[in-house]
Amino acid sequence: MAKKNKIQRPKARRPRGFEDKSSDILRSEARLIEAAFSVYDANGFEPLQTPAFEYADVLGKFLPDEDRPNVGVFALRDDDEQWMALRYDLTAPLARFVAENYDALAKPYRRYQAGSVFRNEKPGPGRFREFVQCDADSVGAPGAAADTEMIMLAADVMKAVGLETGGYVIRVNNRKLLDGILEASGVPNTEEGAIQRLKVLRAIDKLDRLGADGVAALLGEGREDESGDYTEGAKLNAAGVKAVLGFTTASATDRGDTMNTLASLVGSSSAGQAGVDELKMIDAILGACDYGPDRVVFDTSIVRGLGYYTGPVFEAELLADIKDKKGRPVRIGSVGGGGRYDDLVSRFRGQAVPATGFSFGVSRFASALARLNPEQQGESAPVIICAFDRELMGEYFKMAAELRAAGIRAEVFVGAGNVAKQLKYADRRGAKLAVLMGSDELERGEVTIKDLVLGAEMAKAISDNKEWRENKDMQRSCKRDQFVATIKEMSA
């Protein structure tokens, strides 16, 4: 007889660069988004949801690591032969939405949004191809006042998630200042000069990782990294490299001192002077609202790597003492940022449409918060009501409903297995309490509640089964009409 064909089953495997998220991670990210949304909503912003796919030409040439829209994204051809791509951020889709609905929108149009974005890049530790961003933007809002509002929103989000003053700082700069420095260094205001400026921005953005020497190489001819990969530099001359590096170190703790230094650095450059004037306006509003240097500082090393920023830029940095599982200090650094981008909507309409915004990566920020306050992370496990007698399922679900009405998470065991297996399930769920009630207990109007956490601790000190069975501290019996109150007491 011929052998039966072997059934070919697919191998269960996850695509590289994509992650499965557990309930703890999802809950912590949801809490973070909810805190941010509460800040945005209180300030008059409105929610928006745009689709994950956009036409490739809508996304534009603003990818953080590539200069072409068909590189670095996940794209496919639609049935009408047009190329679509998964969004790589939430800002380009916003620009499309505003341009498409421009006449119907009240301006400035103020929106907030959270959702997955996708980068078709080489994955690595902590670097995923899909991650969640949370944004707030104000489109149609010219002037430094709108930028200052975004800076204050960023600081308020830090406070809303539970960070104390001194545990974070918002670092602010202005792209116009760097434009003035580059203008004085001979970088032309042409398409070729724009590419050179983008290379300068990306070089400065690596300052905390590569140090001054590494950035100097990227500002000049180029740099070869440890793996042998070579990155072509911005080709600035020696004077230009010196001027840019000097600009990145022009900051002082006092915002006024920083502005004075910058005013002398930009000289007669009109772009540079405009940048200084905008910082003065930002400083005046921050001061009037009591956002001191303990929350917001001016930092000329902040430039943001994306090419579409045109004015003030800023980053939110965590300063709190964070340690890994072995107690070693961990530097988280920037968890979000934003700035002014006045050219995105104008790509569609051919007219100037000013805009400014703030964005943070949800997973990175939530992970940092979990390291800071591990005891505040995660949701308490539900109370498990064991199915001691399958004939009493209606009564079990009634008990669960009573617990939920009292604000207590509760779950009736609906799987297969005896009580021992059900208690093992409850233990694996991390449940503190399990409820036991059979027909005899129901007839007596009683319920037994087992303290699984206390039981596990006491089991370490109990030497024989007799002592285990006779120990009353690990469980408690109560009247059926008092079991909700007893659950509350034991949970506390």
Report the pLDDT averaged over residues 160-169. Answer: 92
Distances in Å between the alpha carbon of 393 and those of 418, 420, 425?
14, 18, 18
Out of 192-206, 283-297, 448-462, which region has the weakest mean confidence (pLDDT)?
Answer: 448-462
Question: Is pLDDT larger for residue 212 or for residue 135?
Answer: 135
Q: Give domain status of residue 261, yes or no.
A: no
Residue 191: pLDDT band by 50, 70, 90 thresholds?
low
CA angle at 147 for the pair 142 and 149, rounded to the nearest 5°: 115
Domain around 473: 383-491
SS3 state of residue 161: coil
Is 169 part of any domain? no
Tokens encoding 111: 């929106």
For the chain, percent of residues with pLDDT exceeding 70: 88
Instruction: Tell me whether residue 422 is in a domain.
Output: yes
Say what the pLDDT of residue 246 is. 81
φ, ψ of residue 332 in degrees (nearest 5): -85, -45
Q: Count of alpha carbons within 13 Å of 294, Cβ hemisphere only? A: 7
Q: Does the residue 123 lie in any domain?
A: no
User: Is residue 430 situated within a structural domain?
Assistant: yes
Domain total in the chain: 1
| pLDDT-derived band at 69, boundaries 50, 70, 90 | very low
The H-assigned helical ranges of 112-190 are 144-160, 175-184
- Strands 312-318 and 296-298, how do they pair? unpaired
- pLDDT, tens digit, for every residue of 382-403? 999 999 899 999 999 999 999 9
Task: Work out the pLDDT band at 456, boundaries 50, 70, 90.
Answer: low
CB-CB contact of 154 with 338 (8 Å):
yes
Asked if residue 251 is part of any domain, the answer here is no
pLDDT given at position 63? 46
First-last CA distance in the chain: 68
Is residue 320 pLDDT above 70, yes or no?
yes
Two tokens at 18?
């994509």
Residue 296 lies in a domain: no
Beta-carbon count within 10 A of 252 CB: 16
Whole-Å CA distances, 281 to 127, 285, 298: 37, 6, 13
For residue 189, name the pLDDT band (cuts at 50, 70, 90).
low
Return the closest-CA partner of residue 180 out of 305, 308, 298, 275. 275
pTM for this prediction: 0.81
pLDDT at 65 over 60: no
Q: Say if 396 falls within a structural domain.
A: yes
CATH number at residue 450: 3.40.50.800
